[in-house]
């Protein structure tokens, strides 16, 4: 059976299953039924829907396949007050099957007298058969006990009654709540449960709700009950009750409403349509209704980021721009209902926004009474982390580290970076940022420009926080990139130094994102720097605050960065063994690692790579077996022709290697190194490395050591899989 996703009507998602049933004279297709499930709850947070819908789609599809219940299409819907699943063409009855179950190994199944041990008896009892019916099968691990077991198929309804409650209980919501007397736990209190299989109610219970065939429409526009008999009519019946159950349908409706509202203004306006805000709003409403509001033009003196943040983050409003791209004194609000008198609704929105903008204007005007630079002293009283001191201390560390990085990658920007670092955290003590924390950095740039700071300094202040999220934008300016790397290195090294290390379940300081951001900036900028010296400097700057040995932390942090770099390489199509082979030797140099890994991956795709890798691995393994890394090579002691040929080939590649390395031509270098296969194979065929003469042995090991050193310019070939 093959599974394939395809778009589903109504904005859901569908999983089709090809059951393999064909036409002609083949066996008749098994009977199928349709199933609809809807869980009615109080309003679920908007950000919870995407992961929940994806989880239901993947988990239920997988569970049905595992339960031997092929189906035609699986649809998942989500809205503020409901989660729903529709399955069409679901096989009504599991097929009967006979399967072979393997038990314990034969060696532990019988004692020396040939009597069954507890392992054999327990296996037979667990399978519901007498020991006499157990037999032996050969496996790759040797002989094992086995038994044939026949399983009678169950009705799909019986299977669903166990799958559905387990599915709902496992939904990955970040937070849950209790209600009633505390025995029920779910993301929000559950009010109804719709569960209909083949037109009849499938008895289910979940979180205090019992299954029925009843759903409910829009809370205000159609609050009454409505009967749903199957997934085919679900979306249409709810749409008649003013509920758009498909996310894409709601999103499309939100965009249409925004466009309609913007077109209602006297002059041509255009809403600032933030896709993330559209998605959030689409998960807050069941039937969107937009309205155009206005505010006093005196608030236009606020920088756009301030007024836009007040609208977007606090009220989920859409700012409106004029034809020149300037902010207009209007906004668009999306409502969950269309009132009889929308002017009353508009005035309510305007009143709420006016209060927000008044607060923002007050803080902004207060902030302008002092320069950004004059606030640096206040940072001594702001704690970065109680184990890592104040923001003033962090700024001092970052400024020194940023200047060192600039000296290597952009010496002419050294003073710019120093100045930007000194201002980078000053906006944290401003009123606007205290009121709107998401504007950290953004307001630093605004205030720096108003204070007459150079544009490159102001931009670096804003950009040093980037990327602010996974997949987010990287710093656009070189000074911003330098400062961002320095800031992130200081944070990661500082946290590791005091034991604030991410775990598999938690990363409260977003250290993984900061490490990956550092790597992506270095790669995007094409910087050939090594992380090693800067990790060392960052750790040294922590000084007496550190609670762990510097050497131990340095090793851990480099490994931490390597793990992020490996994930990035894998995302680019580099194989796992190729990434490990490169990173084990060159992980401290992100750009060089990337270039080496891509060159190696290209070589791996070529015919004959397996034999080449095996030859190289043989050289490395001999070096590890006999040692000799420090043995000097005396060319005059090479008496055999095969030895001299290998030495000449190695010497020729060594002569060219520095040019390839300087040019970043790792593909060319790898091609030249690959050309050593012939001389190496000839050497192994004609020369005995482990010669009884210790002097000859030393010379030959030294020659192989020189050869291995060339391989290691690219990767540790002993880590390359040749299977």
Instruction: Please state the rounded mean pLDDT for residues 197-210.
Output: 94
Of 106-115, 314-323, 537-546, minimum mean pLDDT range: 106-115
Helix (H) or strand (E) holding 350: helix 342-367
Inter-helix orientation angle 478-497/511-525, to 10°: 150
Kindly give the interhelix angle for 511-525 and 590-604, rounded to the nearest 10 degrees. Answer: 80
Residue 27 — pLDDT band, cuts 50, 70, 90?
A: low
For position 125, what pLDDT does the model report? 87
> Which range (315-329, 374-388, 491-505, 683-697) has the least confidence?
683-697
Backbone CA torsion sign across 498, 504, 510, 515: positive
Give residue 628's pLDDT: 58
What pLDDT does 619 receive? 85
Domain 374-571 coded CATH 1.20.58:
no
pLDDT for the residue numbered 16:
35
The predicted-structure confidence for 648-693, as pLDDT tens digits, reads as follows 888 899 888 889 888 888 888 888 888 888 998 988 888 888 888 8
**How far is it, in rounded angstroms, from Cα 408 to Cα 532?**
13
pTM assigned to the model = 0.79
Residue 606: pLDDT band with limits 50, 70, 90? confident
| Res 9: pLDDT | 33
Domain map (residue ranges) of the chain: 2-94+155-240, 97-151, 265-367, 374-571, 595-719
DSSP string, 380-424: GGSEEETTTEEHHHHHHHHHHHHHHHHHHH-GGGHHHHHHHHHHT
Burial class (CB in 10 A: 0-12, 13-18, 19+), 297: exposed
Phi, psi values for residue 280, rounded to 5°:
-65, -45
Handedness of CA 662, 663, 666, 671 (dihedral sign): negative
Residue 504: CB atoms within 10 Å: 5
**Bigger pLDDT: 670 vs 18:** 670
* Residue 176 pLDDT exceeds 60: yes
CA distance 645 to 648: 5
State the helix-helix crossing angle for 391-409 and 414-423, rounded to 10 degrees: 160
First to last CA, the chain: 29
Lowest average pLDDT, out of 98-102, 331-335, 496-500, 573-577, goes to: 98-102
- For residues 250 and 281, the answer to whether their CB atoms sit within 8 Å is no
Do 685 and 642 form a contact (C-beta atoms < 8 A)? yes
Angle, helices 391-409/478-497, rounded to nearest 10 degrees? 130
DSSP state of 646: H
- Evaluate if residue 256 carries a pLDDT over 60: yes
| pLDDT value at 422 more than 90 | yes
Model confidence at 631, pLDDT cuts 50, 70, 90, reads: low
- Does 615 sit behind a cis peptide bond, omega within 30 degrees of 0 on the bond before it? no
For the cut 70, the answer to whether the pLDDT of residue 396 exceeds it is yes
The structure tokens 């710093």 sit at 475
**Rg of the Cα trace of the chain?**
34
Best CA proximity match to 19, nearest among 9, 10, 29: 29
CA distances from 16 to 8, 62, 498 (A): 10, 12, 51
Q: What angle do helix axes 550-571 and 576-586 make, rounded to 10 degrees? A: 150
pLDDT value of residue 30:
85
Helix (H) or strand (E) holding 442: helix 442-450
Rounded to an integer, the average pLDDT of 249-268 is 85
Contact by Cβ (8 Å): 228, 211:
no
Helix 641-663 vs helix 694-711: crossing angle, to nearest 10: 30
Does pLDDT of 59 surpass 70?
A: yes
Q: Tell me the sheet residues that pair with 328.
A: none
* Whether the Cβ atoms of residue 600 and residue 714 lie closer than 8 Å to each other: yes
Confidence of residue 372 (pLDDT cuts 50, 70, 90): very high
Q: Does position 66 have pLDDT exceeding 50, yes or no?
A: yes
Residue bearing tokens 């519901």: 128
Residue 58 contacts residue 98 (beta carbons within 8 Å): no
The reported pLDDT for the residue numbered 8 is 34
For residue 406, the number of C-alpha atoms closer than 13 Å in the C-beta half-sphere is 28
pLDDT given at position 689: 83
Mean pLDDT, residues 322-350: 92
Least Cα distance to 404 among 322, 485, 291 occurs for: 485
Structure tokens that stand for 153 in this block? 């198929």
Residue 663 CA to residue 667 CA, distance in Å, equals 11
Rounded CA-CA distance 339/345 in Å is 8
| Closest to 276 in 3D by CA, of 474, 84, 524, 470 | 470
Q: Tell me the percentage of the chain whose pLDDT exceeds 70.
A: 95
pLDDT tens, residue by residue, 510-525: 999 999 999 999 999 9
What is the DSSP track for 139-176? ETTEEEEEEEEEE---BHHHHHHHHHHHHHHT---S--
What φ, ψ does residue 458 adopt, rounded to 5°?
-60, -45
- Residue 572 gets the label, from left (phi > 0), alpha (psi -120 to 50) or beta, of alpha
CA 654/CA 450 separation, integer angstroms? 56
DSSP-H helix ranges across 469-575: 478-497, 511-525, 531-542, 550-571
How much is the pLDDT for 10?
35
* Residue 108: CB atoms within 10 Å: 14
Query: How many CB atoms sit inside 10 A of residue 610's CB?
Result: 13
Burial of 410 (0-12, 13-18, 19+ CB in 10 A): middle
Residue 506: per-residue pLDDT: 83
pLDDT at 6: 29
Confidence of residue 26 (pLDDT cuts 50, 70, 90): low
Q: What confidence score (pLDDT) does residue 611 get? A: 84
pLDDT for 23: 44
Q: Which two tokens stand for residue 405?
A: 């990085």
pLDDT tier for residue 4 given thresholds of 50, 70 and 90 = very low
The chain-wide mean pLDDT, for the chain, equals 89
Residue 235 has pLDDT above 90, yes or no: yes
Classify residue 208 by its DSSP letter.
T
Among 58-62, 264-268, 322-326, the minimum mean pLDDT is found in 264-268
- Give mean pLDDT, residues 329-337: 94
Q: Lowest-pLDDT range, 4-8, 124-128, 387-391?
A: 4-8
CATH of the structural domain 595-719, one choice from 3.40.50, 1.10.3470, 1.10.287, 1.10.730? 1.10.730
The pLDDT of residue 617 is 85
Can you tell me the distance from the alpha carbon of 258 to that of 278, in angstroms, rounded to the nearest whole number? 10
Share of the chain above pLDDT 90, in %: 64
């Amino acid at each position: 059976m093959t599974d394939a996703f395809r778009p589903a009507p109504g904005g859901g998602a569908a999983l089709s299953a090809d059951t393999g049933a064909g036409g002609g004279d083949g066996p008749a297709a098994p009977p199928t039924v349709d199933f609809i499930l809807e869980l009615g709850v109080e309003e679920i947070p908007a950000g919870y829907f995407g992961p929940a819908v994806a989880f239901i789609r993947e988990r239920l599809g997988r569970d049905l396949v595992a339960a031997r219940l092929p189906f035609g299409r699986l649809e998942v819907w989500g809205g503020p007050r409901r989660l729903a699943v529709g399955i069409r063409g679901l096989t009504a009855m599991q097929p009967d099957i006979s399967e072979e179950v393997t038990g314990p190994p034969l060696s532990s199944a019988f004692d020396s007298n040939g009597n069954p041990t507890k392992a054999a008896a327990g296996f037979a009892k667990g399978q519901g058969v007498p020991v006499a019916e157990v037999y032996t099968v050969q496996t790759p691990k040797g002989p094992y006990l086995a038994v044939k077991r026949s399983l009678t198929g169950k009705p799909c309804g019986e299977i669903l009654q166990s799958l559905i409650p387990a599915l709902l209980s496992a939904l990955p919501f970040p937070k849950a709540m209790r209600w009633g007397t505390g025995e029920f736990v779910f993301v929000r209190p559950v009010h109804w449960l719709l569960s209909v299989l083949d037109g009849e109610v499938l008895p289910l219970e979940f979180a205090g709700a019992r299954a029925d065939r009843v759903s409910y429409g829009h809370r205000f526009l159609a609050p009454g009950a409505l009967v749903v008999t199957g997934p085919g009519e679900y979306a249409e019946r709810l749409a008649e009750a003013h509920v758009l159950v498909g996310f894409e349908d709601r999103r499309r409706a939100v965009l249409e409403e925004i466009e309609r509202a913007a077109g209602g203004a006297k002059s041509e306006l255009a809403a600032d349509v933030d896709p993330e805000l559209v998605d959030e709003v689409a998960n807050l409403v069941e039937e969107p209704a937009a309205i155009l509001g206005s505010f006093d033009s005196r608030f236009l003196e606020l920088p756009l980021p301030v007024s836009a943040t007040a609208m977007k983050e606090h009220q989920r409003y859409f700012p409106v721009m004029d034809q020149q791209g300037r902010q207009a004194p209007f906004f668009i609000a999306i409502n969950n209902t269309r009132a009889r008198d929308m002017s009353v609704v508009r005035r309510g929105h305007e009143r709420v926004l006016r209060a927000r903008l008044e607060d923002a204007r007050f803080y902004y005007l207060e902030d302008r009474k002092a320069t950004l630079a004059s606030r640096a002293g206040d940072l001594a009283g702001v704690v970065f982390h109680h184990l890592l001191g104040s923001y003033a201390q962090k700024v001092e560390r970052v400024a020194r580290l940023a200047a060192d990085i600039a000296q290597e990658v952009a010496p002419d920007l050294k003073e710019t970076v120093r100045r930007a670092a000194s201002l980078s955290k000053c906006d944290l003590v401003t009123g606007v940022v205290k009121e709107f924390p998401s504007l950290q950095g953004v307001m630093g740039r605004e205030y720096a420009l108003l204070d007459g700071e150079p544009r490159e300094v102001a931009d670096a202040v804003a950009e040093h926080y980037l990327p602010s999220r996974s997949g987010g934008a990287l710093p656009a300016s070189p000074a911003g990139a330098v400062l961002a790397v320095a800031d992130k290195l200081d944070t990661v090294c500082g946290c590791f130094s005091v034991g604030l290390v991410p775990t598999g379940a938690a990363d409260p300081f977003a250290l993984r994102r900061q490490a990956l951001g550092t790597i992506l900036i270095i790669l995007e900028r094409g910087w050939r720097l090594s992380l090693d010296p800067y990790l060392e400097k960052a750790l040294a700057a922590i000084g007496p605050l550190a609670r762990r040995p510097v050497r131990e932390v340095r090793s851990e942090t480099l490994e931490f960065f390597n793990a992020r770099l490996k994930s990035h390489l894998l995302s680019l199509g580099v194989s796992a063994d190729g990434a490990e082979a490169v990173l084990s030797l060159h992980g401290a140099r992100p750009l060089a690692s990337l270039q080496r890994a891509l060159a190696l991956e290209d070589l791996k795709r070529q015919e004959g790579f397996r034999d080449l890798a095996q030859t190289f691995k043989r050289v490395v393994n001999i070096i590890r077996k006999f040692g000799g890394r420090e043995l000097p090579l005396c060319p005059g002691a090479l008496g055999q022709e095969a030895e001299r040929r290998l030495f000449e080939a190695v010497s020729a590649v060594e002569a060219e290697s520095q040019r390839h390395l300087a040019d970043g031509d790792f593909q060319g270098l790898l091609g030249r190194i690959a050309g050593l296969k012939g001389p190496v194979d000839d050497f192994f065929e004609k020369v005995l490395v482990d010669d009884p003469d210790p002097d000859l042995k030393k010379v030959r090991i030294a020659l192989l050591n020189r050869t291995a050193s060339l391989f290691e310019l690219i990767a540790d070939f002993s880590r390359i899989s040749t299977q």
